[in-house]
Structure formats: C-alpha cells, structure tokens
Amino acid sequence: MNKKWEINRTDEEKVKEIENKYHINNLLAKILVNRGITTEKNIKEFLNPTRKDFYNPYLMPDMEKAVERILKAIEDKEKVLIYGDYDVDGITSVTVLKSFLEERGLNVDEYIPNRLDEGYGLNKPAVEKIANEKYTLMITVDCGISAIEEVKYANDLGLEIIITDHHEPGERLPEAIAIVDAKRKDSKYSFRNLAGVGVVFKLIQAISEKIALEEKEYLKYLDIVCIGTISDIVPLVDENRVIVKLGLKLVEQTRNIGLKTILQLSGYQKIDSTTISFGIAPRINACGRMGHQEEALKLFLSTNKEEVTQLAEKLNEYNRQRQEKERQIFSEALEKIKKKSINEDRIMVIDGENWHHGVIGIVASKITEMYFKPSILLCFEGDEGKGSGRSIPGFDLHEALTRCDESLEKFGGHSMAIGLSVKKDKLEDLRKKLDDIAKEKQIDKIVPILKIDAQVELKDINMQIVESLKQLEPFGEENKVPLFVFKNLKIDSIRALSEGKHIKLTLKQGNQNLINAMGFNLGELTNDYRIGDKVDVVGSLEINKFNGEESIQILLKDMMKSI
C-alpha cells in the first residue's frame, strides 16, 4: 500500500537555540522542536519530569465532593465497593484504589463485570445485587460516565455512586453524587487524556493532600498506574508522560510481587513501554477476554508468592488460548471478506457466529491495519450481535456511530475504538448508513501517513547520537518513535528472511558509510529491488546487539526508488 511521507519543516533557528541552550545534539533538538516542545518549562518536563509536575487534582470536576464523601465513608466505616472494568486499565484502577483505601483503614470490596456475560460498564442486575448486599457507597473506576439509567436505578435502591472515568461524556450526565472526569465540558483541568487509572491516581493524590499524608503514600502506586496508562494506549504526553516516566523507574524495582512475577515470565530484559505493551498488557487483558478477570486482579493484590506464581502461569495459559482463538477468528474473517468482497466497502462490517466476544476487538485491529479501513466485527448469537470496531487516523468512528443511533441497540468508545450491539434485522441498515457517512467524509482519500522527523545523512549518525534518542522515551501515542528519511542510498546487499516474511539489507552512502536495515513484515519488497539500486528509506534508528558486538541499524518502515 502506498504511504504518504510527510517530512517536518523545522525552524532551524529554534533548533540551534535549543541545541546551544540545553547542550543537546542537533537531531535531538530538531525532534523537540518538531513536536512543539520548545519552552523551557516544556523541555524540562519532557526530558526530566518530576513529581512536582503533577497538576492540582482539585481542578478536576467534583473532586472535592468525591474526596469528602470517601472520607466520610472511612470515618463511618461504611460498606464500600469499587466497580471496575476487565481490561488492564480497569484492573489497575481497582488495585490502586482498593489498596490505598484499605491502608486508610476502610475495608473495600470490588466488582468487575464478566466481559462475556455482562459486557462493559454498569448493568442493572449487578447494581441490584450490590444494593441488596447493603453497600452504601459504590465508586466506579474506568467506567460509569454513560450509565444514566443504571445510576438512577442505584439511587432508587439507596446506593450512592461516585463516578471516576476518562471516557467522553454524553449530553446528559448520570445523577451521581460526584463525577470525576477531566473530559467533562465544565472541566478546568489542564489535561484531558488521563487513563482511568490516571483519574484514580488523581483521586488518591487529592485524598492524600486533604488529610496531609506524605507524598510517598500515593506516589508509591505509580508502578501500577504506569502499567494501566501504557496499556490503555492514551497519549504519552503531558501528565501521562510524567506518570509513565516516573512509573517505569518504580516498575524496575517494584514491590508488587504479582507485577514482578509476570515481568519475569514475559522474558523481556529491558523495562520500557514496549515491555508493558507487548509483554504485560496482553497477559492481563487475556484474563478479561477469556472471562477470568478476577484472577488478574488477584495477581496484583496477593502477597502470597506461591499463589502469585500459580496465577501468573494461569495468565500465560489464558494468553495462549486467546492467541489461538484470535488466529481462528482472523482466518474466518478473512475468508468472509474474500467471499463477499467486503474489502470493497468503505467501512468493513464483518459478522459471524460463535466468535469469542473477548477477542474480536484484536482481530478488528489486525484487519484495519491490513486494509487501512475502519472495520467492525460482530458476533451474532441468535438475533443479537455484539462487536468491536477499530478506525484509521482521520476518521472518527464513534462520531459516525452517533449518526447511526436508530440502527443500534447500544454503543460506546472513542474515535479510534468502539464497542456496539445491533439486531440482525438492522445490520444492512447499519452498513448502508456507515458507508454513506464514509463517502460523505471522503474516506477514500485518506492514505497512511508516515510522519518523518528529519532527513538525515549517514555520515552524521553515530552511536552517541542514537543513544541520546532514548531521552525521548517512553514512546507511545502522540510520542511515537522518531522516524528519519535517508536519501540516495545504494543497496549493497538484500535478502528475505523467515520464508519471505522480513527483509534485511545493507545500505551505502558514498564509499565510507555502510548501515544495516531490517524491515519486519516487509519481505515482499525483495521482489522490487536489486543490489545496486538507489533508494530512499524511512525508518527509526536503533542499536543492534549481536554476538557481543553493537552496531547502528535502521528499523525500516518504507522504501522507494530514489528520483
């Protein structure tokens, strides 16, 4: 698929000023300028964030009300329950709030809905059960902002609700005693994009400040907050960057034996955002996806090493089962796409039966990545279909669904990822409406864009410069690994690896400069290029360690013949 290369236009005067003032190399200064990090405050916070960079939690809506109500519950030793979600963000949110409140002397129970039986968020049967068990206060984490009917039902049953959430609110808010969400329209908080566990962190910070606890009493949870923040794929900028940068340092020396054990099992040697995203998050998420969400929570809360070891091994097994289900659904979905020519649709809606609800979101992500089109996968059981959708940059799938309200039973999410339910007799109507919206939005004109930080000459790259780029970590949403374009390189060698799946090259600029390049899942390029061809390549820079030797390598993202 053709990709559009966009090279940043850099303010060279600003680059030179930052390079001289902060004694950093030209390439690092260029990336900071390109990403809008140019003021003294921004540069300091970005490169070296500290605990002093956290915002005032009381600027968040209803924070004062939430804190006062929780302190009353602590003082009166009320029966309190935390209602969470089954993904990593939800599990870590429950872990942090439950642990913090129990250290304050309040016994707290928790409820996490079963993904397969109950779905996401509050539901009336669960609310009724909780009220019947005589809880007086329920605190939601990572959910609740859209639960208008469920909160009303709780109120009618005499159960008070505090909502902490980070999802987009609708036009109406639930009638809870406090709704702490930085995305509220009346929010004065400086940063909108905290994860659910980030909102919980602000809540325990606010409680700590109110009762004059030492900072360490809430900061010590940053390892768990960091895990949830990275896993929820929120933008790793601003306050999220502070959370993750400081949190990763705590992860390295975590006292949470569940986290420590699963880190060891993941096999990753280095603790960074990649380790969390690909080593930790899938194992925790697998519990919720396969309907065993309580075991992921137990892993973080248990202090029994033997129990933790058993739980970690179970998580590994659930993850293996998840991968197997994923492969099966992916294969069946591709077959349906092929048979029905669904790939010709502007938005791909693929339905099936007996697909595992917990896995179809991952498959939707893979299909969207493969075809660069929004995709929705639906699993029908009888007349009702439940599913997940994923979008592409430049198309707001959540906004599109708001215009298809009459065709849907229920939906939620955000611009890039949604969950929904639909009746079978409304499916074709939904397909047509989505196609009309996609046509109106000219989705056909959206192409994948590679945002390139700078054009670089091989002669200007050395080990020290590549090492300095680590100061930009942790990488994630809105702080991607920097990409560079290298022009007029000569292919010195080229070969396919792993039965044609990947490509490995050596590239030359002039007579002196030779560099290795590795392109994962780009093996088909070996059919288009030969030794001696002049090429332009886009990729990131990394230090490759092999047999005790270190060398600079380009991690290839795209390649074209030089003009």
Containing 123, the helix (H) or strand (E) segment is none
319-354 pLDDT, tens digit per residue, is 999 899 999 999 999 999 999 898 899 999 999 998
In the CATH scheme, what architecture does the domain 451-561 have?
Beta Barrel (2.40)
The DSSP bridge partners found for residue 139 are 82, 162
493-527 pLDDT, tens digit per residue, is 999 999 999 999 999 988 767 899 999 989 999 99
> In sequence order, what are the residues at sequence separation of 6 or more whose Cβ sits closer than 8 angstroms to the Cβ of residue 13?
none
pLDDT level of residue 233 (50, 70, 90 thresholds): confident
The most distant pair of C-alpha atoms in the chain lies apart, rounded to whole Å, by 79
Would strands 513-519 and 484-497 be described as parallel, antiparallel, or unpaired? Answer: unpaired
- Give the HSE-up count for residue 526: Cα atoms under 13 Å, Cβ half-sphere: 21
Give pLDDT, residue 358: 80
pLDDT level of residue 452 (50, 70, 90 thresholds): very high
pLDDT level of residue 158 (50, 70, 90 thresholds): very high
Length of the chain: 563
Q: Which string of b and e fits 115-131 if b means at least 16 CB within 10 Å?
A: bbeebbbbbeebbeebb
In the CATH scheme, what architecture does the domain 341-445 have?
Roll (3.10)
- CA-CA distance, 359 to 488, in Å (whole number)? 44
Find, among 147, 86, 90, the residue nearest to 122 by Cα. 147
145-156 pLDDT, tens digit per residue, is 999 999 999 999
Residue 293 in this model has a pLDDT that exceeds 90? no
- CA-CA distance, 161 to 13, in Å (whole number)? 54
CATH entry 3.90.1640.30 includes domain 54-217: yes
pLDDT level of residue 288 (50, 70, 90 thresholds): confident
- CA-CA distance, 19 to 29, in Å (whole number)? 6
Q: Which of 33-47, 281-295, 323-337, 452-466 has the lowest mean pLDDT?
A: 281-295
Mean pLDDT, residues 198-208 taken together: 98
- CA-CA distance, 90 to 256, in Å (whole number)? 17
367-407 pLDDT, tens digit per residue, is 999 999 999 999 998 999 999 999 999 999 999 999 998 99
Residue 460 in this model has a pLDDT that exceeds 70? yes
pLDDT level of residue 414 (50, 70, 90 thresholds): confident
Q: Are the C-beta atoms of 556 and 470 separated by less than 8 Å?
A: no
Give pLDDT, residue 473: 93
In whole numbers, what is the pLDDT of the chain averaged over residues? 93
3-state secondary structure of 485: strand
Would strands 417-423 and 549-561 be described as parallel, antiparallel, or unpaired? Answer: unpaired
Q: Are the C-beta atoms of 524 and 433 separated by less than 8 Å?
A: no
pLDDT level of residue 410 (50, 70, 90 thresholds): confident
Burial of 304: CB neighbours in 10 Å, binned 0-12, 13-18, 19+ = exposed
Find, among 203, 201, 205, the residue nearest to 226 by Cα. 201
**Which residue ranges make up each domain of the chain?**
54-217, 341-445, 451-561
- CA-CA distance, 285 to 467, in Å (whole number)? 32
Tokens at 316, concatenated: 């590994």
- Kindly calculate the radius of gyration of the chain based on its CA atoms and give it in whole angstroms: 25
Tokens at 553, concatenated: 């390598």
Give pLDDT, residue 549: 86
Give pLDDT, residue 1: 62
Give pLDDT, residue 252: 93
pTM listed for this prediction: 0.87
- CA-CA distance, 284 to 98, in Å (whole number)? 18
Q: Over 356-370, what HEC string results?
A: CCCCHHHHHHHHHHH
SS3 content of the chain, % helix, strand, coil (to 5): 45, 20, 35
- CA-CA distance, 136 to 133, in Å (whole number)? 9
3-state secondary structure of 548: coil
166-185 pLDDT, tens digit per residue, is 998 988 999 999 999 999 99
Q: Are the C-beta atoms of 470 and 482 separated by less than 8 Å?
A: no
Residue 15 phi/psi, 5-degree rounding, is: -60, -50
